[in-house]
Amino acid sequence: MFWDKAMETISQADLQTLQLKRLRETVERCGQIGFFKDKFRETGVGPDSIKSLEDLQKLPFTRKTDLRAGYPFGFFAVPRREVVRIHTTSGTTGKPTVVGYTRGDLDKWSSLIARNLTMVGLTSDDVFQNMVNYGMFTGGLGFHYGSEKIGMTTIPSATGNTRRQIEMIQDFGVTAIHCTPSYALHLAEAAEEMNADLSALKVGMFGAEPWSDAMRHDLEAKLGVEAFDSYGMSELYGPGVAFECQEHNGLHIWHDSYLVEIIDPKTGEQLGPGERGELVVTPLVKEAMPLVRYRTGDITMLLDDECPCGRGPKLARFTGRSDDMLVIRGINVFPSQIEHVLLEIPEVGNHYMVYVNRVNHMDEMTIDVEVAPGYFKGELADLKNLQNRVVKTLRDVLELRTTVRLVEPGTLPRFEGKAKRVVDQREVF
């Protein structure tokens, strides 16, 4: 067990006192970084300016572009000899973001993940298979050290070789898995084809991409697990920032280690509980790479209901990213909305691709979706009624006309890492 009861159920007054102390310490550490030193000088704000938590709004936002501009070590607040590990983001555009860790950082990070694993009921009696990348991506090593901290038997299977993954689950009596939800669906399909017995599984932890409640029900039905949503980001250590408890009603963020805000992504104005916007996080205990007001780009909202588990305030499940949002003919569309619609229609499968093009100066969205194997009789032409129903359901939810193409089962790409289901081709026209 790794339940930090005193910290996880701390009173609101004591939490605010702790947060204020740690916020001042974080601003002090940020003063060692050239970017923040310049920003504090320009705005006249520094550690002495932080008299209350409301003073957080005096501090500047930090963006991913700022971190990339500091490549490679421009955001380290400690000498490089104190940095014992480096991770990077995927670097999909330009240079990647480099994240450094001191020994203290690694201990704090693994402890946060251990708290998450304990919260969902895992103990040293469990066998854990970690099916994510063990390279520069933080998901692999982050979960690995957290699982070992609570004493679980840990299998670092990483990604790929799905058949072998399934064999290990069977042979080693795996009770808990961690992977992306899209890979979990692929795993379930492969297990069904192999007629594999995965009955020992009881917990599935899924993150790194948004996924809907409809997908949760599908994963639980196909894998026989209780599915938990995991949230993290390399810039904030990695996974372990927030996690679902067994109530499955929002994600608990560890408020002793992270100060959170929800803002309007366009204006930067703070939003209240129940108002959906962009998550902004100030990590409070990072040593090597402290940050203030980091704009994550992730869309969520604060929930103000008290959780029966006794832990602190929660975030709603994430609906996408502000920079993943598609604007189609003036209408905002999140890929998770499309997924939710498709998973509610039993005749279509779990796999789809979204293509956005500009035709005659108009945005057009085309969705390829597989027909579920049990409903495919060999001729797509016979499924016109199903195609029309998918089009109508999408239009009702998105308030947008789309083109839907039904395709045969097993023909769309499968993803072992983050699913890349949206191809926006407008910029090439």
d(CA 274, CA 302): 6
- Decide if 45 contacts 58 (C-beta within 8 A): yes
Beta-bridge mates of residue 253: 242
For residue 380, report the phi and psi dihedrals to the nearest 5 degrees.
-70, -30
What pTM, to 2 d.p., does this model score?
Answer: 0.84
Domain 1-321 in CATH 3.40.50.12780: yes
Give whole-number Cα distances, 252 to 54, 155, 232, 337, in Å: 22, 26, 12, 23
DSSP notation for 263-306: E-TTT--B--TT--EEEEEEESS-SSS--SSEEEEEEE-EE-SP
Mean predicted confidence (pLDDT) in 369-389: 93
Q: Tokens for 340?
A: 């939710």
Counting Cβ atoms within 10 Å, is residue 128 exposed (0-12), middle (13-18) or buried (19+)?
Answer: buried
Residue 429 has pLDDT above 70, yes or no: no
Reported as a single tens digit per residue, the pLDDT across 50-96 is: 999 999 999 999 999 999 999 999 999 999 999 999 999 864 445 78
Share of the chain above pLDDT 70, in %: 98
d(CA 307, CA 42): 42
Residue type, 236: L
Share of the chain above pLDDT 90, in %: 76
- Decide if 144 contacts 130 (C-beta within 8 A): yes
d(CA 381, CA 201): 40
For residue 169, report the phi and psi dihedrals to the nearest 5 degrees.
-55, -45
Mean predicted confidence (pLDDT) in 137-159: 96
d(CA 49, CA 58): 8
Mean predicted confidence (pLDDT) in 172-187: 94
d(CA 229, CA 210): 9
The CA R_g of the chain, rounded to the nearest whole Å, is: 22
More confident residue, 350 or 52: 52
Mean predicted confidence (pLDDT) in 318-346: 83
Q: What is the overall mean pLDDT for the chain? A: 92
- Decide if 404 contacts 367 (C-beta within 8 A): yes
Reported as a single tens digit per residue, the pLDDT across 15-29 is: 999 999 999 999 999
Mean predicted confidence (pLDDT) in 352-357: 95
Reported as a single tens digit per residue, the pLDDT across 109-131 is: 999 999 999 999 999 999 999 99
Q: What is the DSSP letter of 230?
A: E
Domain ranges of the chain: 1-321, 326-428
For residue 348, report the phi and psi dihedrals to the nearest 5 degrees.
-110, 155
The fold adopted by the segment(s) 326-428 is GMP Synthetase; Chain A, domain 3 (3.30.300)
d(CA 241, CA 311): 14
DSSP notation for 161-207: -HHHHHHHHHHTT--EEEE-HHHHHHHHHHHHHHT---TT--EEEEE
Res 93: pLDDT: 42
Q: Tokens for 329?
A: 């003919």
Provide CB contacts within 8 A for 238, sequence distance 6+: 87, 99, 109, 138, 139, 141, 142, 232
- Decide if 124 contacts 152 (C-beta within 8 A): yes
**β-pairing verdict for 294-300 and 277-283:** antiparallel
Residue of 316, 259, 266 whose CA lies nearest to 282: 259
